[in-house]
């Protein structure tokens, strides 16, 4: 049996199509879509339209929840965000999902999806962790956090996404895995990445797949869709994240907080000048 977990597509239809083609080549039996289908890249509507007819299980990611809360003007979001030009990218994506009647697909998605094959280790899949969709599995997650997660959410193998970086860690008899990202990887490898699990006997064997696709076409969509022009600074930052395959949005946010600066095009240029190491070309 072969099971694929794909996640962090983030509105990148070119990357998604490449991964779906690879799933066919690999002879995958089942697929789980592990959150963050939308936002960041301009084709959130196309991604949902492509995935919806496939009837796959989805979990909720933080960006899926964000665009819903944005459309609702939820009081769970800071009120000043709605008038802040920095959030124009999210507003743009949310509005298009509303206009196309697709936002309902993202409402009430589950936090987790379990896979239990008789005689095989159990899998618990969540965008972040079962506790919160922003708690990603990576090398910084402390042992006590893993212990608490397993205590309250028992499974043999924990599978998450969210960090946009593939990750594997053996923790006693347990295995902790991160799928990496289909649409916007953060490991300086621009290929579309996902997790493939093959059940051999009573053992799930993980493989981190990285699929080449037309990144230039994906970047061009930022312009032809109007997203780069209408989505403001955040759309520009998302463009460079895709171009460089590394995180920039969160580091820029934290830097402006530390420096006491507004998030504007001018401070973005200052960030670029002060941190050239963040803008080196991707490895591939």
pLDDT in tens, 136-169: 999 999 999 999 999 999 999 999 999 999 999 9
The angle formed by the CA atoms of residues 112, 114 and 119, to the nearest 5 degrees, is 160
What is the reported pLDDT for 221? 99
What is the reported pLDDT for 128? 98
User: Distance between CA atoms of 195 and 159, rounded to whole angstroms?
Assistant: 9
User: Distance between CA atoms of 160 and 155, rounded to whole angstroms?
Assistant: 13
Range(s) of the chain covered by CATH 3.60.21.10: 2-211
Beta carbons of 14 and 217 less than 8 angstroms apart: yes
Token match 């509005």: residue?
Answer: 95
For the chain, the farthest-separated pair of C-alpha atoms sits apart, in whole angstroms, at 58
What is the reported pLDDT for 177? 99
| Residue-wise pLDDT tens digits, 117-136 | 999 999 999 999 999 999 99
User: Distance between CA atoms of 280 and 243, rounded to whole angstroms?
Assistant: 10
CATH 3.60.21.10 fits 2-211, yes or no: yes
What is the reported pLDDT for 207? 99
User: Distance between CA atoms of 161 and 95, rounded to whole angstroms?
Assistant: 26
Give the pair of three-digit tokens for residue 195: 């997790």
Kindly give the parts of the chain with pLDDT less than 70. none
What is the reported pLDDT for 235? 98
3-state helix, strand, coil in the chain (%, to 5): 45, 20, 40
* pTM for the structure as a whole: 0.96
User: Distance between CA atoms of 118 and 202, rounded to whole angstroms?
Assistant: 9
């Amino acid at each position: 049996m072969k099971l694929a977990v794909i996640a962090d597509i983030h509105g990148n239809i070119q990357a998604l199509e490449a991964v779906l083609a690879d799933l066919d080549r690999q002879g995958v039996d089942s697929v789980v879509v592990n959150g963050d289908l939308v936002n960041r890249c301009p084709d959130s509507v196309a991604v949902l339209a492509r995935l919806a007819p496939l009837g796959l299980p989805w979990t909720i990611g933080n960006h899926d929840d964000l665009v819903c809360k944005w459309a609702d003007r939820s009081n769970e979001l800071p009120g000043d965000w709605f008038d802040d030009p920095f959030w124009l990218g999210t507003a743009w994506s949310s509005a298009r999902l509303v206009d196309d009647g697709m936002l309902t697909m993202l409402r009430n998605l589950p936090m987790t999806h379990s896979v239990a094959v008789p005689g095989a280790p159990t899998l618990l899949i969540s965008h972040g962790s079962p506790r919160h969709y922003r708690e990603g599995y990576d090398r910084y997650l402390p042992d006590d956090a893993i212990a608490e997660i397993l205590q309250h959410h028992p499974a043999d193998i924990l599978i998450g996404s969210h960090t946009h970086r593939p990750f594997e860690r053996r923790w006693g008899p347990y295995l902790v895995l991160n799928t990496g990202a289909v649409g916007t990887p953060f490991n300086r490898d621009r290929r579309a990445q996902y997790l493939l699990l093959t059940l051999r006997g009573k053992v799930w064997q993980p493989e981190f797949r990285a699929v080449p696709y037309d990144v230039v076409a994906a970047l061009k969509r930022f312009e032809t869709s109007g997203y780069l022009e209408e989505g403001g600074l955040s759309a520009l930052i998302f463009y460079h994240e895709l171009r460089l395959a590394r995180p920039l949005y969160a580091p820029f946010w934290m830097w402006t907080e530390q420096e006491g600066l507004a998030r504007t095009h001018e401070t973005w240029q200052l960030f670029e000048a002060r941190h050239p190491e963040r803008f080196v070309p991707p490895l591939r």
